[in-house]
Structure 1
Amino acid sequence: MRLSLATEPAHHHRPNEDFVGVASDAVVLLDGAGIPAGMESGCSHGVAWYARTLGSTLLTTVTQSAAPLAELLAESIKAVASLHDFTCDLSHAGSPSATVAMLRRSGGGLEWLVLADSVIVLDTGTAEPTVVCDDRLERIGARHRAEVDGLRSGSAEHAEALRRYIGIMRGHRNRDGGFWVASVDPLAAEHALTGSLPSDQVRAAALLSDGASRLVDLFGLATWRQLLDLLEESGPEGLISRVREAEHGDPDGSRWPRGKALDDATAALWRFS
């Protein structure tokens, strides 16, 4: 088994709100949902703290229990909520949240879990890899993004439209018919995408925050197969470098409308053969 990873904040003067951690037979990746300036969250700790705390809790739990990944996620969400229940307003609609992607090798199987818009890509040796992606956030967001996408990134108008958009999306978070993400309610774990394959059928697996997967699913500059090839040839650092090149080439979002001109980016590649 060989595992390589890289993570890079969008801006080096701001905290990285992604988390990635590795154990002997597991990888955990989280992408904290950033909160624009001027919006409240009800939490004094912040998104980076939440991603790090939930990520490290998950990594510890997954090494100590053979329970299903969704059950471990629910337990971890509950445990982290208890850490700031008496200091923060956990009923606030903007309580810190994070996407979750997990892989665990157990016995002869490889198990996965994905909640919200982080991505797992499994190289099974076929022409097209298996892509595990929870698109509920994207589908809900597409209904409300027109104003944000029509404005230049970095402008005051774009920032204000983004705040309105996030306010609308908070009304769809962790509700039936909406999208699900790790936050304060353990019930969200029941809505994660889960599955497994015999581990001898998987050559390699990639875990990606949406800041890294955007090379494919937002920019359209590579296929998933080409992304896996890039990871094999240049490593996670090479993938993030390609993403940064595209972002800097379109700083105002005129080619690729998006909420964040640059995003925290994290990638892990787990090779099995």
Structure 2
Amino acid sequence: MQVQLAARAAFPDLAFAAATPEALVLLDGVAPKAGGAAGKPGCRHGTPWFVRRLGVHLLARLTDRCDRSIAECLADAIAETAALHGGRCDLADPAAPAAAVLAARLHGASLEYLLLGGPLLLLDTAGGPLSLRHGGAGRAGASPRVSETARTGFVRLDGLRALAALADGTGGTDRTAGGGLLRRLAEGGPAAEPGVLLHAVC
């Protein structure tokens, strides 16, 4: 894959986007609400810390553990990130950091994908544009079992021309006009389209 990334001023801390030639990851962090003892969040690290660690762990698992399914890679990354918190964080607190997840990687003759929460995966296929999302309110926190609720699947590479990853809650992008968006991305890249953080040509 040839991957282009766009930095967004609207997501300085809560979003993570990274890619290698064979895999990509987009995380949309969820800012914690007041909680824990005396109204303090259960985790002292905060959402930006969590999003960066989880994103790095997930990208590493996607590239070096081809024997694990994409959902199992997410479970492994969540467990590794949770282990970094230490005993001072209450990871069971609903206010602990969490993130919606989009991930994809080359797997043989197919693209394997995972969606959890709000991000949108837009595919430019031989049969026309295809929009994929989780359709639920799931998000990755401290429990690896949440990976079991993710939407996963495969798309054959011989019918796939390009893809775009969109963060949840981004304004300015018409999610229903997939074909037009994909054409604009092919011409101007993700920097020209609000909400698009990753664009890849297969």
Structure-1-length-normalised TM-score = 0.68
Matched, 1:236 2:190: yes
Give the distance between the partners of 1:26 and 1:212, measured in 2 at CA: 23
Letter in 1 for 2:81: V
Give the distance between the partners of 1:124 and 1:131, measured in 2 at CA: 10
Say whether the 8 Å CA contact 2:5–2:18 is kept in structure 1. no
For the residue of structure 1 that corresponds to 2:193, the secondary structure is helix
Unmatched runs of 5 consecutive residues or more in structure 1: 138-179, 241-264
Report the Cα offset of residue 89 of structure 1.
Answer: 1.1
Give the distance between the partners of 2:192 and 2:75, measured in 1 at CA: 34
Alignment of 1:256-267 (within 5 A): 265-267=195-197
* Structure 1 residues 85 and 50: alpha-carbon distance in aligned structure 2, compared to 1, 3 A threshold: same
| Corresponding residue number in structure 2 for 1:156 | none
Letter in 2 for 1:18: A
Report the Cα offset of residue 126 of structure 1.
Answer: 2.6
| Corresponding residue number in structure 1 for 2:45 | 45
Matched, 1:25 2:22: yes
Alignment of 1:219-258 (within 5 A): 223-240=177-194
Unmatched runs of 5 consecutive residues or more in structure 2: none
2:167 to 197, 206, 209: 209
Give the distance between the partners of 1:214 and 1:186, measured in 2 at CA: 33
Give the distance between the partners of 1:88 and 1:9, measured in 2 at CA: 29
For the residue of structure 1 that corresponds to 2:155, the secondary structure is strand
Larger radius of gyration: 1
Give the distance between the partners of 2:146 and 2:46, measured in 1 at CA: 20
Report the Cα offset of residue 98 of structure 1.
Answer: 0.4
Matched, 1:268 2:198: yes
Say whether the 8 Å CA contact 1:18–1:30 is kept in structure 2. yes
> Could you tell me the percent identity over the aligned residues?
34
> Which of the pair is proportionally richer in strand?
2
Give the distance between the partners of 2:168 and 2:133, measured in 1 at CA: 10
Give the distance between the partners of 2:2 and 2:21, measured in 1 at CA: 11
Report the Cα offset of residue 87 of structure 1.
Answer: 2.4
Letter in 2 for 1:205: L
Say whether the 8 Å CA contact 1:208–1:268 is kept in structure 2. yes
How far does the alpha carbon of each residue in 1:80-121 deviate from its partner, in whole angstroms, 9 at most, with x for none? 111104121112111100011011012211110000001111
Structure-2-length-normalised TM-score = 0.90
Alignment of 1:100-139 (within 5 A): 100-127=101-128, 129-137=129-137
* Structure 1 residues 49 and 266: alpha-carbon distance in aligned structure 2, compared to 1, 3 A threshold: farther
Give the distance between the partners of 2:109 and 2:127, measured in 1 at CA: 20
For the residue of structure 1 that corresponds to 2:200, the secondary structure is strand
Matched, 1:200 2:201: no
How far does the alpha carbon of each residue in 1:15-69 deviate from its partner, in whole angstroms, 9 at most, with x for none? 4210011122000110101246897431111111111100000111111101100
Give the distance between the partners of 1:69 and 1:95, measured in 2 at CA: 24
Give the distance between the partners of 1:111 and 1:82, measured in 2 at CA: 27
RMSD of aligned Cα (Å): 2.0
How far does the alpha carbon of each residue in 1:195-216 deviate from its partner, in whole angstroms, 9 at most, with x for none? 0021111000111111447622
Residue correspondences, number? 198
